[in-house]
Structure formats: structure tokens, C-alpha cells
Amino acid sequence: MCACSEMAEATFSQDKFSCPVCLDLLKDPVTIPCGHSYCNCPQCRQTFSPRPALNKSTMLAEVVEQLKKTELQTAVPAGPGDVECDICTGRKHKAIKSCLVCLNSFCQNHFDQHENLFKGKRHHLMDATGQLQEMICCKHEKLLEIYCRTDQSCICVLCMVDEHKNHEIGSTAAERTEKQRQLDETRREFQQQIQEREKKLQELKEAVETHKCSAQTAVESSEMIFTELISSIERRRSEVTQMIRAREKTAVRRAEGLMERLEQEIDDLRKRNTELEQLSDTRDHIHFLQSFPSLSDPPGSPDVPSITFGSYDDVEQSVSQLRQKLEDFCRQEFEKISGKGKTLKTFNTSLILRR
């Protein structure tokens, strides 16, 4: 590295060696008699007659080359999702600011040049946005800084005196404030619906567990009763058990379907709530107003469905009555048998039932 390059890197910033018209680093810089340097673009209004011969400034070219290397070391390349600088040539750098007057987005280097070039002029700057063109009227090429409440759309100052004449209008900032209030209210409603569904989901989970326990109790009770019966009613016992299981399966399947629906609605509401939260945080009034209508309506039905579980008491009661009837019948028959022969007095009732 030559001594002049080291001195330029340490003493001067990049904007000292940028073309005042194209805002990029000088390319093959030449120096004219007035002392200014440029790359195919004049900097001052001084004229020369006859036109002077232009020679390449070797020392200045070396300094510019060193600045290019320094820029490559310090610049931040644009990555996926980043807004790219509109001025960078070749490899694009990450934009940090967007100008609504110039309609361009700038990286740090070109933003500094923009500020130096328009020093004292009031340009409308904002954080770099990828929706810059959405903020400009496609008809008049003006900033969409007015909101027409009559047509529910963003317009420019020329639209206001043209097709939106005599309409109810206001600033985008004021309309954003109103829509923000509506958004916050919608979010509160979503939060309430989420809480209601979470509560209903928990109640359903508990009800399912209780129902399963009830079904298991009914099965165990039936099993205990059926074990006391003779083998001739084994088939009936199996049918009753299958009936209980079928009823349980049907009820649980309905409940699980409803649980799945509630979980899906909760996921949808959470997703919509996250989108609203992200929309709430954006500083882009135009993007906000254009996105708000599609996000403000709640997904799905606002009603929270419910389900009622049946009882198994009727099954247990019927089986108990059956056992009692069978026992009464077996006792009566045993007494008849025991009266016919003393050898049958010690005959076990369970043997009769298993006969």
C-alpha cells in the first residue's frame, strides 16, 4: 500500500471521493483546471474555452482504489429479507433509510452522501422499507399521505382535488390512530375468545378423563357382576361390555373432534393475533391501512361449541337387576331341586349357573 493511500484512508471519508452527480465512487477520475475531479459528470458551472485536455489523475485513482477496498471491508451486504440499496452497483448493500422524495432506499454510505448532497433541504426520510412503491400514487407519482374515508383508500394531494373532491378526507397518521384503536379492540376480543376456548378445552379434557373413568368403572362393575353368572350368559356379558365401549368411543370421538376444532381455532386466533401484533408495530401507515381490513375479521365462528356426555348408570342398573333376577331364579330352582333329593342339598348355586 502506498503512503498516499494510507493517508487517504486515515484522513478522508468516502464521500470526499464520490461523484457529486451519480453519488458513487469516482471511476477513472480526471482533474480539470478548476481543480475539481469527476467521472464523466461536471461538478461546477465554470466553463473553459477551448475545452481542456483531460488526463487521468493517477494519485487520486490510487486513493479511490484504496477506498473501494475499505468499503468492501466495512459495508454490510444485503441478506435474505433485507431491503437493498437502490444506488449500489454490483453487490447490493443493506439499506438503512428510504427517502420519500427521492423514492430510493440507501445503505449507510449512500445515505451519508444523500445527507451531504441535500443538506438544508427537508427530505422525508423513514426506516428502509421494501414497500416504497406502495406508498406512491401510481397515477400522479406523489406520496400517499392523505386518507379518503369516503372511499376507504390512501390518496395523494392531487387525487384529493381530482376524483376525491368533496370526499371526507384526513391524514394517514390520523386514520392510523383510529384504525389502531380498532385493531387494539379486535385484539382484545381475540384474546377473550382465546381464553374462552382455552377454558372450554380444559373443561373438555377433564370431562373426557372423568368420562373415561366412569366408563371404566361401569366396565369393572359389569365384569364383577358377570363373573358371578353362569357361562350361559357369557355372550350377553360380552355384548354389554361392547355396548359400553361403543358408547364411550362415540362420545370420546365426538369430544376429540371438538377438541381438535378448538385447538385449530386457538392456533388460527393466535396466528391472526400475531399478525395483528406485527401490523401494530409497523411504522408504515400505508401498509398498515392496506393490510388492516383483511386481518380485522376473526377466523371461524365466534361461538364456542359444547358437548354433553351421557351416563352409564342405566347399564349398571340393568345388569344389577339381571343379576338379582338370576339369583332369585337360581334360588327358587335350587329349593325345588333340594326338595326332590337330599343329595342335592349341598349343590353349589354357582354350579347351577355354570350348567
Whether 179 and 68 share a structural domain: no
Q: Is the pLDDT of residue 119 over 60?
A: yes
The pTM of this model reads 0.41
Work out the average pLDDT over 49-54.
Answer: 66
Parent domain of 272: 173-314
Q: pLDDT grade, residue 56 (50/70/90)?
A: low
Q: What CATH number should be reported for the domain holding residue 31?
A: 3.30.40.10
Q: Does residue 104 lie in a domain region?
A: no
Model confidence pLDDT, tens digit, residues 322-342: 878 878 887 887 788 677 544
Q: pLDDT grade, residue 187 (50/70/90)?
A: very high
Work out the average pLDDT over 53-75.
Answer: 62
Q: Does residue 345 lie in a domain region?
A: no
| Calpha distance 301→193 (Å, rounded) | 10
pLDDT of residue 41: 44
Task: Return the higher-pLDDT residue of 75 and 138.
Answer: 138
DSSP letter for each residue of 219-268? HHHHHHHHTTS-GGGHHHHHHHHHHHHHHHHHHHHHHHHHHHHHHHHHHH
Model confidence pLDDT, tens digit, residues 128-155: 877 777 788 888 878 888 899 888 889 8
Q: Does residue 180 lie in a domain region?
A: yes
Q: Does residue 217 lie in a domain region?
A: yes
Q: Does residue 122 lie in a domain region?
A: no
Domain count across the chain? 2
pLDDT of residue 96: 86
CA angle 250, 239, 230 (to 5 degrees): 150
Any idea how long the chain is? 355
